[in-house]
Amino acid sequence: MLCCVCKEKPATVHLTEIKNDKMQKVDLCEACAKAKGVNESSFALADLLLGLGASQEIEQSSGGVEVKCPKCGFSHADFKKAGRLGCPECYATFADGLESLLKTMHKGTRHAGKVPEALRSQRDFADRMKTLQKKLEKAIEDENFEQAAILRDEMKKLGGKLPSTTAK
């Protein structure tokens, strides 16, 4: 595709503008883009990909201090450049700045979908133990020791580490 201004050099800068419901496309070569005052580098890629202000959000949350991911060495300057993170660990490293960013781009900030089965059974197990533990405490509080014994056996059978419970 050739630049639509000079019609000589290949177009490398593509702009799409929507004005009064009409889409207008402009394809420019680098030189013409510069001449027209379109400067691609004035937009960080992160801003283009994630919406304006995205890179700033991450930057501000760090309080101006250069934060680097301890695992992969990715910095917020890299995020600004790439609009993507370095490794899974980065989500913990940049958690503060990401939170508000995620709010603007998603329905919510908590995952509500599929969970890998290995984690699901772990979580189910933890939930189950927690419920039993609560029931056990209640039974002890009510001095219903017969019920407490049954619950303790049930927890033992589940194979979890039994938390120490002290009857009052």
Partner 1 sequence: MKLDDYLVAPGEIARRKGPHDRIVMSSRVRLARNIRDGAFPGWAKKPERVRILETILPAVEALPELKGAFSESMDNLSTLDRQILVERHLISREHQARSAGSGVVLNRDETLSIMINEEDHLRMQALRPGLQLRQAWTAIDELDSHLEKQLTYAFDSNLGYLTACPTNLGTGIRVSAMLHLPGLVLAEQINAIIQSVNKLGLAVRGLYGEGTEALGNVFQVSNQMTLGESEATILERMEKVLAQIIEHEENARGTLVEKKAKMVYNHIGRAYGILANAHSISSKETMNLLSLMRLGVDLSLFPDAERALVDELFLLTQPAHLQKQHSDKLSAEERDLLRADMLRERLAKVARPTVRSKGTNGGGLDKADK
| Nearest distance from C-beta of residue 168 to partner 1, angstroms | 34
Residue ranges binding partner 1 (CB under 8 A): 14, 21-23, 49-50, 72, 74, 78, 82-88, 91, 98, 101-102, 105-119, 123
In the complex with partner 1, which residue's Cβ is closer, 65 or 119?
Answer: 119
If phi > 0 it is left, if psi is from -120 to 50 it is alpha, else beta; for residue 138 that is: alpha
| Nearest distance from C-beta of residue 104 to partner 1, angstroms | 10
Give the CA angle between residues 135, 138, 143 to the nearest 5°: 125
Q: What type of residue is 122?
A: Q
| Nearest distance from C-beta of residue 21 to partner 1, angstroms | 5
In the complex with partner 1, which residue's Cβ is closer, 65 or 112?
Answer: 112
In the complex with partner 1, which residue's Cβ is closer, 12 or 147?
Answer: 12
In the complex with partner 1, which residue's Cβ is closer, 88 or 163?
Answer: 88
| Nearest distance from C-beta of residue 94 to partner 1, angstroms | 9
DSSP of 18-59: EETTEEEEEEE-HHHHHHTT--GGGS-HHHHHH-TTHHHHHH
Angle between the N-to-C axes of helices 117-141 and 145-158, in degrees from 0 to 180, rounded to the nearest 10: 160
If phi > 0 it is left, if psi is from -120 to 50 it is alpha, else beta; for residue 7 that is: left
Using CA atoms, how far apart are residues 130 and 43, in angstroms rounded to an integer? Answer: 50
| Nearest distance from C-beta of residue 43 to partner 1, angstroms | 15
Using CA atoms, how far apart are residues 58 and 80, in angstroms rounded to an integer? Answer: 8
In the complex with partner 1, which residue's Cβ is closer, 37 or 113?
Answer: 113
